[in-house]
Amino acid sequence: MVNRKSKVSRDAAPSGRTRAAAPPRTASYTRLLRVDEEAAGAGAPSTLPPPPFARETAVVGLEWWLAAHMGLASGLLWVGQLLDTVPEGDAHAETVRGLAAHTASVRDALYELYCDAADDRVAPLMGRATPLEQHVRGSYGWCVRVVGLLATVTNGLRAESRPDWIIAKGEFRASTRHYPEVPPELRDAVRALPIDFSSPIEPLRNLPQDLDQLIAATEELKAMLAKRFA
């Protein structure tokens, strides 16, 4: 994996909320369309995310991660659009919005790790058989199933028959079989990387915290889903 771009300040990422309970529209919510010099010549739009990557052609080896992230972001956007068609004040819709917001927190934590993975020092932790990539792929796969569950409930709210809670609970139980448990060696592998935590310009200084944030956000979403569907 070649070195891409150094991570820029994450405080610069755009953010905002459309409503109090809605998923936050952060840098990872929906990709900003940008055009590379090469793509511009071909008339092709880019799916390049915001910083730290300056050009899509500089992203090497993480294409699968970007594709998974785009899929999850699109799924959450779809659920949000479905929720906009549900009458205001529906208590179940507000519950789904809250769960979508928790799912968005997992999505955002995955994006932070995506930024970290641009550094060459993370390359030894990447690969189909490595704990980091397996955990990331598992996290996206589980979140996609959660989005499907939320869409099932929301579509039910839009119908006169209302949601079929037996089906919804069945989807929840099926999703729990894909919950991404943390490999016991993952944290140690991350902390073993050569990172200068004393340097204010160290691109990987937040990597251990970013991993912890992903784990915490995932566990919180799991608990919230169990509270509603178990």
Contacts with 73 (C-beta within 8 Å, 6 or more apart), sequence order: 28, 29, 30, 31, 107
19-30: pLDDT as tens digits: 334 334 344 433
The reply to whether 169 falls in a domain is yes
- The reply to whether 35 falls in a domain is no
Residue 76 within any structural domain of the chain: yes
Give the pLDDT of residue 54. 56
Per-residue pLDDT at 207? 95
Q: Residue 33 falls within a domain, yes or no?
A: no
What's the number of domains the chain is made of? 1
Q: Which residue ranges of the chain lie beneath pLDDT 70?
A: 1-60
pTM over 0.85: no
How many Cα neighbours within 13 Å face the side chain of 168?
Answer: 21
Task: Say what the pLDDT of residue 38 is.
Answer: 43
Task: Tell me what pLDDT residue 98 has.
Answer: 96
pLDDT at 60: 66
pLDDT of amino acid 160: 77
Alpha-carbon distance of 153 to 86, in angstroms, equals: 11
CA-based nearest residue to 7, from 123, 110, 117: 117
Q: What is the pLDDT of residues 82-130, one digit of tens each?
A: 999 998 888 999 999 999 999 999 999 999 999 899 888 999 999 888 9
Return the structure tokens found at 222: 């799991």
Q: What is the pLDDT of residue 61?
A: 78
User: Which CATH number is 125's domain given?
Assistant: 1.20.1410
Inside any domain, residue 13: no
Q: Residue 15 has what pLDDT?
A: 38
Can you give the pLDDT at residue 3?
43
* Domain annotation covers residue 53: no
Which residue range(s) make up the domain with 210?
Answer: 60-229
Is residue 49 one of the residues assigned to a domain?
no
| Owner of token pair 């610069």 | 12
Residue 96 lies in a domain: yes
